[in-house]
Amino acid sequence: MQLFFHPNLIENEIILPEDESKHCVRVLRKKVGDKIILIDGKGTEAITEIVDDNPKKCKLLIRIKNQKSKNQKSKLHLIVAPTKNFEKMEWMIEKCVEMGIDEITFIETANSERAKINLERCEKIAISAIKQSKQYWLPKINELQKFDSFLKKLETKNENELRCMAWCETELTEHLKHHIRTSANQLICLLIGPEGDFTGNEVQLAKSKDFIPVSLGENILRTETAALYATAIINSMD
Amino acid sequence: MQLFFHPNLIENEIILPEDESKHCVRVLRKKVGDKIILIDGKGTEAITEIVDDNPKKCKLLIRIKNQKSKNQKSKLHLIVAPTKNFEKMEWMIEKCVEMGIDEITFIETANSERAKINLERCEKIAISAIKQSKQYWLPKINELQKFDSFLKKLETKNENELRCMAWCETELTEHLKHHIRTSANQLICLLIGPEGDFTGNEVQLAKSKDFIPVSLGENILRTETAALYATAIINSMD
């Protein structure tokens, strides 16, 4: 069954936003009395009944509310330098969210080709992807920030955290999968650099914050492909 | 270093096709005497020297030729019902080829939303992806065919082959990863159905050809995401 999204499921009476109302009433032809399921991206599932099938502000009453527990798999925080063509990043967000991810932070590095993102659009894509893939938790997407300020803000790494960076330099680095501890509820922070790669300086800075270089296999992957590949592997390892 | 593609590296003298000539001479500003590397998608790497930097028909002489051996990882043959929006399939081809895949067959099923593909365009995307990711073998992409005729043509499964289908029905199916034998040089044939899923009939037909249902995790993945997820996992398991 199709899921609908509303960020706030605290009150009993819910008015769907215009686009969701239209989709519900015009596209899916739902009527007064029909039941629809809402999620808030914070673990709540609400089974609701339509009390006013207005196609611009469809009104619902919550009948049953369930709080879903977050699964105990590893958490993935992807830290990525966006590509010049942002469509690739939108695709990456959709696919990574479908497969399962907790947080995405966009960074501006020395070799970055893009210093702006449309955060609202990124969030819309993420909401649509969790609805599509039937998930109850909305990943956090963070505004683009300078790489060095992102690193400076990072707290000391704790023992349940893996900090790694996909680094293109030919070094004898171990594959990401060998660093993942299964069933450990580990937080994995993965840095993916821009097409021009991280500078030596940036690599040193990341290393000083306990990021270790990891390999993503023999093939040279584009930024967005590296993100998809890593997300798939991390999700399959629990 | 950037790779160039030419399907035939048998003769010593090579003329690049117009688009590759233009890219080489106009975009990368290569001149007579410069060395460029060519691949033929069949394992050959040729180090060549430009002898005529004509931007429409750049002429090269092969100086050194190496035959790369195919790596002994599992082979993946993806059999997929294309989505209505073929752009998603083009993206899927690019990403799967970058990560590593051997063959893609498009099938027409009862619930398919598309009965035509542009094979030439698919091949161009695959060529561009192997050049980008520095691979020497071009995956085979097969013309769209009816699912039942595809199955009929299949030979008896041999012991080094895994035939599986990503099936959305809620069944207690085991995850794909549990079926993969690492370091076995296994041929994995993975069926991915259309949005409306395979029909019961199609599932029976596939089962009669030894395809077993496998799970791709808890999240409901779109066709192209399922393909990416499976390709990443299979590539990471060697």
pLDDT digits (tens, 9 = 90+) for B124-150: 999 999 999 999 999 999 999 999 999
> Which structure tokens are listed for A157?
């790494």
Tell me how far apart the alpha carbons of residues B68 and B137 are, in angstroms, rounded to a whole number.
Answer: 9
Q: Is the pLDDT of residue A171 over 70?
A: no
State residue A216 phi and psi, 5-degree precision. -115, 35
> Do the domains B75-236 and B3-67 match in fold?
no
pLDDT in tens, B174-184: 899 998 887 66
Best residue of B71, B94, B133 to probe chain A, by most A CBs closer than 10 Å? B133
Coil, helix or strand for A223? helix
Q: What is the CATH number of domain A3-67?
A: 2.40.240.20
pLDDT in tens, B38-79: 999 999 999 999 999 999 999 999 999 999 988 767 899 999
What is the DSSP-derived secondary structure letter of residue A228? H
Cβ–Cβ gap B71/A175 under 8 Å = no
User: Cα dihedral angle (B88, B93, B96, B99), rounded to 10 degrees?
Assistant: -120
pLDDT bin (cut points 50, 70, 90) of residue A229 is very high
Cβ–Cβ gap B229/A221 under 8 Å = no
Best residue of B168, B218, B234 to probe chain A, by most A CBs closer than 10 Å? B218
Tell me how far apart the alpha carbons of residues B170 and B179 are, in angstroms, rounded to a whole number.
Answer: 18
pTM: 0.92
Cβ–Cβ gap A218/B71 under 8 Å = yes
Q: Please give the pLDDT value at position A139.
A: 97
3-state secondary structure A174-193: CEHHHHCCCCCCCEEEEEEC
Extents of the domains making up chain B = 3-67, 75-236
Q: Please give the pLDDT value at position B195.
A: 83
Long-range contacts of B111-115 (CB under 8 A, 24+ apart): B111/B81, B111/B193, B111/B194, B111/B195, B111/B196, B111/B197, B111/B198, B111/B199, B112/B81, B112/B82, B112/B194, B113/B82, B113/B83, B113/B84, B113/B194, B113/B195, B113/B196, B114/B81, B114/B82, B114/B83, B114/B84, B114/B86, B115/B144
B positions 202-231 inside 8 Å of A (CB): 217-222, 224-225, 228-229
Cβ–Cβ gap B98/A219 under 8 Å = yes
Nearest CA in chain A to B178: A236
Q: Is the pLDDT of residue B30 over 90?
A: yes
Q: Residues for chain B: how many in total?
A: 238
Tell me how far apart the alpha carbons of residues A107 and A110 are, in angstroms, rounded to a whole number.
Answer: 10
Which chain B residues have a beta carbon less than 8 Å from that of A95? 224-225, 228
Rg of the Cα trace of chain A? 20
Q: Are B34 and B67 in contact (CB under 8 A)?
A: no
Query: Is B73 part of the contact surface with chain A (CB cutoff 8 Å)?
Result: no
Query: Is A100 part of the contact surface with chain B (CB cutoff 8 Å)?
Result: yes
Mean pLDDT of chain B: 92
Q: What is the percent of chain B with per-residue pLDDT over 70, rounded to a whole number?
A: 97
> Which structure tokens are listed for B70?
């195919």
Q: Which pairing describes strands B3-5 and B35-39: parallel, antiparallel, or unpaired?
A: parallel
pLDDT in tens, B7-18: 999 999 999 999
User: Cα dihedral angle (B32, B37, B38, B42), rounded to 10 degrees?
Assistant: 160
What is the DSSP-derived secondary structure letter of residue B133? H
Query: What average pLDDT score do residues A53-67 get?
Result: 95
Q: Is the pLDDT of residue A16 over 90?
A: yes
Q: Is the pLDDT of residue A151 over 90?
A: yes
Residue type, A173: T
The residues with which B15 forms a beta bridge, in sequence order, are B59
Q: Please give the pLDDT value at position B149.
A: 95
Q: Is the pLDDT of residue A180 over 80?
A: yes
Q: Is the pLDDT of residue B200 over 70?
A: yes
Within a 10 A sphere around the Cβ of A64, how many other Cβ atoms?
11
Identify which of A99, A134, A229 has the shortest CB distance to residue B225.
A99
CA angle A80, A86, A88 (to 5 degrees): 75
Q: Please give the pLDDT value at position A154.
A: 93
User: So what's the ipTM on this one?
Assistant: 0.90
Q: Who's near A125: CB < 8 A, 6+ residues apart?
A: A90, A93, A94, A97
The CATH fold of domain B75-236: Alpha/beta knot (3.40.1280)
